[in-house]
Amino acid sequence: MMQAKQPIGVIDSGVGGLTVLKWLQAKLPHEDFIFIGDTARTPYGNRSREEITRFVAEMTDWLDKRHIKQLVVACNTITVLGLDVIKGNHPFDVIGMAKGSRMVPGVTKNNRVGFFATDFTVSTGAHKREIQRICPEIQVFGQGCPKFVPLIEGEKFGSPELKAAIHEYADKLREHNVDTVLLSCTHYPFVRKEIEEEFGPEVTILDPAERTTQDALENLEKRGLARTTGLGRAEICFTADLERGRRLAARMLDLSKCGFHLIDLQKDPEQPEQEGRTA
């Protein structure tokens, strides 16, 4: 039987999910988190569905051995596999990345909405279907951004290459006269400021991670598993490039609330000693 004191698992194809972990730690301050960023195999956006499914199974199996009570999928590319596929036979509930569909109606004025995502995510049509299911009158335009993840993972912040990529992809959406743009890849909030500057004040940029966090909290409360006391911490695990991951985490998180580990998903996890706390 699950208990409130068990940790929450968070998975991502790389470092982008740290932007979701930031929201989670802010809104669920009493919870412990175990984050896995699969930096050894990022990016996922140009991989096959079969490959992504296999990688996700390795992460969920690893986290199941750490006895998590909930899994938050901090990656749009993984989420579009479907929550049942991600969950498999594991006992924990799975919270996927929100598509931001419920955020859009109160923001767009001209009913023309764009989203930045990986090519894989765009190809599924999932975001367009979800937004139009809620508001059929909204026109939705997806733009694949294959250059973003390598540039962000490579810490090319402020570089001419990043600026050129943002301009290139923004131009594609400007052709459709959008007034709202969703950041439908968790890597992209790392460069949200630069994207906002490129579009200017006439276009509103939205981060669906805020809605994802609310979904996670509501699920825990419904199941009686939300922690209400203690100060939570995050165990941040990468499959490669630990120091680079730590540097990128410093852009998003309070490192005093985090520990960092390099892990091998093929081996059983070594569980560090946990501080005694009340649930």
Q: What is the pLDDT of residue 70?
A: 98
Higher pLDDT, 153 or 225: 225
H or E segment and range at residue 12 = strand 8-12
Q: What is the pLDDT of residue 121?
A: 87
User: Over 70: is that where the pLDDT of 278 sits?
Assistant: no
Report the binding-site residues for substrate. 12-13, 44-45, 76-77, 186-187
- Hey, do 6-96+208-260 and 110-207 end up sharing a CATH topology, with the first three levels equal? yes
Query: Which residues are within 8 A (CB) of 63 and not within 5 positions of it... i.e. 6 or more apart?
Result: 9, 11, 34, 36, 71
Instruction: Give residue for tokens 């923001």.
Output: 107
**How far apart (Å, rounded) are the C-alpha atoms in residues 145 and 157?**
16
How crowded is residue 175: how many other Cβ atoms within 10 Å of its Cβ?
11
Tell me phi and psi for residue 257, to 5 degrees: -105, 15
Q: What is the pTM of this model?
A: 0.85
**How far apart (Å, rounded) are the C-alpha atoms in residues 236 and 263?**
10
Q: Please say if 185 is a catalytic residue.
A: yes
Q: What is the pLDDT of residue 271?
A: 56
The predicted model gives 177-194 an average pLDDT of 94
**How far apart (Å, rounded) are the C-alpha atoms in residues 32 and 28?**
9
Q: What is the mean pLDDT of the chain?
A: 93
User: Over 90: is that where the pLDDT of 101 sits?
Assistant: no
Q: What is the pLDDT of residue 279?
A: 39
Report the binding-site residues. 12-13, 44-45, 76-77, 186-187
Q: What is the pLDDT of residue 158?
A: 94
Closest to 67 measured CA to CA, from 235, 254, 239, 262:
235
CATH number for region 6-96+208-260: 3.40.50.1860
CATH number for region 110-207: 3.40.50.1860
The predicted model gives 156-180 an average pLDDT of 97
Q: What is the pLDDT of residue 96?
A: 95
Task: Choose the catalytic residue: 145, 185, 237, 258.
Answer: 185
Higher pLDDT, 59 or 77: 59
Domain-wise residue ranges, the chain = 6-96+208-260, 110-207
